[in-house]
Amino acid sequence: MEHQINSGTRVKNCPELMAASAESRDMPTRESDNAAMKAISQQVEMHKKLQWPHHPVITKHTYLIWAHMQRLHHLMTPELRKDCEQLLKHSLRISQAMVELACYRDWFFTAQAMIEFRRALVQGLDLRTPPLMQIPHFDEEVLKHCTRGKNSASTINDFLNKSPEQRKGLAKMEPQQLLDIDAFAAHLSDIELQATVEVEDETNIVVGDIVTVTVSMRRKNLKENEAVGPVHAPLFPDMKFEEWWLFLTEGTPMSKIITFERIRDTDQLIENKMRFQVTRPGKRKMEIHAMCDSYAGIDKKIEILFTALEESESNRQIFIHKEDEDLDLIPTLFQQMMGDLNGQDEESEDEADAAASKEKEKVKAKTNGKSSGKAETNGRKTAANGAGKKPSSEAGSSAKEETEPQEEDDDDDNSSDMSSDSD
């Protein structure tokens, strides 16, 4: 599907594109489908020649989708009706992907066509079906009376904004049918769209600025703290809540999407901020489109005007808050990490210096100890040498005294030897 959607894709292309999706092609077929499809193929108005006419499943489901949009359900057999409902259940995801694909490629008219196709499936509307057909109990006969003569209404808002007495075409309706129409009128979203353009904290807009467009959507039919309920869609098999798409575009024939938002909020008041960058100076005119994916005829559009200045034309004074200045003093995470590493290195260096100084002190202490030991040894040697230098007479007498005990010992030994001999 991605390769089949381009900037020229419109609503008439969408039924066959959805029929060619994987979800559609995976649905089972029956032998009786060919006979059952004859009545539908004869009554359905095809707005475009088939692109894949020789693919049975795609052809069958394309006819079923067109038949649903043209409200030809009475021509469907029970089996075909189940197939149609199964296709419609898949359609929400498929059409959502189609819208997003166009948005991401900035194709505004393609995105607009995808949303129109999505709500045509929800309400059962053909390409030329008036939005008034969404009102309960409306048919071709009622539509003729409603759109002709005095107090006629050509749009759904024109009809619902009139008082019940002024609404045309309701003369033959029963009281319960009139109550259903009144309930629908109170339930349908009546949107008031407003927008402001600014650059936050600035008084003018300069090229390069990020502009903020604050879009306000208020449902005038709701009171404060109220929320809108499910969509009135009797021909759709599942319950659904309305969604809105906001598009900011240039006001030119070849409009491209500048930015977009998908709104799923059901509250009475919705505010959304859309941002974009100004790329060129001068007067600018842009458009904001609010498109509903569930009802036709209630879309809104407003214009926004602003002037973008050159940077040289603006006299902006740069004001720095005190808090921002204080933030500059706070170290970044990288600086904090580097500071911790430097602190660890400094601590390790201090520890190494302390260990080295202690080692030096030990070496110095050992050196001093050895020096003092040598001094004491030298002192003792000097004292010993001084004592050894005596007069010669004293030395001789001391030597004589030392030899005398030895002589006495020798005499004792001799005397013992002699006594033993006499024995």
Q: What is the CATH number of the domain that holds 74?
A: 1.10.3380.10
* pTM of the model as a whole: 0.75
Q: Same domain, yes or no, for 224 and 314?
A: yes
Find the range with the poorest average confidence among 89-93, 134-138, 146-150, 237-241: 146-150
**pLDDT top residue among 78 and 355:** 78
Q: Same domain, yes or no, for 100 and 203?
A: no
Q: Same domain, yes or no, for 244 and 123?
A: no
- Closest by Cα among 259, 249, 257 to 285: 249
Taking only the tens place, the pLDDT of each residue in 236-257 is 999 999 999 999 999 887 789 9
Mean pLDDT of 84-91: 97
CB distance 322 to 334 below 8 Å: no
Say what angle helices 56-69 and 108-123 make with each other, to 10 degrees.
70
- How many structural domains comprise the chain? 2
CB-count exposure of residue 91 (10 Å: 0-12, 13-18, 19+):
buried
Residue 210 is part of which domain span? 192-326
pLDDT of residue 392: 44
Distance, CA of 268 to chain centre: 26
In degrees to the nearest 10, what's the CA dihedral of 321, 322, 324, 325?
Answer: 120
Taking only the tens place, the pLDDT of each residue in 345-402 is 555 666 767 777 777 777 777 676 655 555 555 555 555 555 444 444 444 444 444 4
280: Cβ contacts below 8 Å, ≥ 6 apart: 207, 308
**pLDDT top residue among 210 and 340:** 210
Q: Is 28 part of any domain?
A: yes
**pLDDT top residue among 421 and 16:** 16
Is the pLDDT at 413 greater than 70? The verdict is no
Query: How is residue 331 annotated by DSSP?
Result: P
Q: Is 155 part of any domain?
A: no
Taking only the tens place, the pLDDT of each residue in 181-208 is 999 999 999 999 999 999 998 889 999 9
pLDDT of residue 405: 45
Q: Same domain, yes or no, for 300 and 202?
A: yes
Q: Same domain, yes or no, for 8 and 118?
A: yes
